[in-house]
Amino acid sequence: MPTSLGYAILALVASKPQSGYDIARQMKSPLGYFWQAKHSQIYPELARMQKSGLVAFTEVEQKTRPARKVYSVTDAGKTALAEWIADPPQERPANDEIVVKAYSLARISPARSAALVREQIRAHDERLGLLEQRAAAIEDRRQARGTKTGSRFGDYAALRHAIGVEREYLAWCRWLISEINRVEGKSRTKR
């Protein structure tokens, strides 16, 4: 039985045959909105799934580049994936460092806490912009091709989730900034 990462790989390979490198590119942080993993985890997982018959590869030689192992899903892989999808997902703890930092934010000065949060806003605003660009591109394609539920529905759904997460995070960061300002204003007028 594959791990969660294994199923994530299966899902990608099922949508389109591709190499470990291709998968790694899509799972690359910080832009990977589907599942994040490094190549050092992906290659062994692919090898394991190939041995257990869920995927198969054909080696494609190239002139100037090293050979690619292009993986595709076997029938057994498709069955395993469909069965796994239906049963309830494992809940993953958020365990986000920023929440711990926010919890103890009063331990550093308002100036420093504002700087911390503003940097988060900057970075996540940037990421959100990229995600929204991608979403807009997909929405155009969907309108053009009519409302046929293409194989890209899943990709779009994952994107929507990532965008929602970023928007929520940014709203929370902005609330934090307003709270920091409120406290700073209070302590200033007191003197």
Interface residue list for its own copies (CB under 8 A): 4, 7-8, 11, 14-15, 29-30, 32, 34-37, 78, 81-82, 84-86, 88-108, 112-113, 116, 119-120, 147, 149, 151, 153-155, 157-158, 160-162, 164-165, 167-169, 171-172, 175-176, 179, 182-183, 186
Q: Among 16, 61, 62, 143, indicate the residue that binds DNA (CB under 7 A).
A: 62
Alpha-carbon span 73 to 16, nearest angstrom: 9
Q: Which is nearer to DNA, 70 or 170 (CB)?
A: 70
Is 16 among the residues that bind DNA (CB under 7 A)?
no
**Subset of 24-43 contacting DNA (CB under 7 A):** 24-25, 36-41, 43
DSSP 52: T
CA 11 to chain centre: 14
Q: Which of 101, 105, 112, 4 is nearest to 49 (CA)?
A: 4
- 14 within 8 A of 78, measured Cβ to Cβ: yes
Provide CB contacts within 8 A for 48, sequence distance 6+.
2, 6
- 13 within 8 A of 71, measured Cβ to Cβ: yes
Residue whose entry in the numeric block shows the structure tokens 């790694």: 24
Provide CB contacts within 8 A for 44, sequence distance 6+.
none
Interacting partner of 39 out of DNA, its own copies, none (Cβ under 5 to 8 A depending on kind): DNA
Applying CB under 7 A, the site for DNA has a residue count of: 28
Q: Among 7, 19, 77, 113, indicate the residue that binds DNA (CB under 7 A).
A: 19
Residues interacting with DNA, by CB under 7 A?
3-5, 19-22, 24-25, 36-41, 43-44, 46-47, 62, 64-69, 93, 95
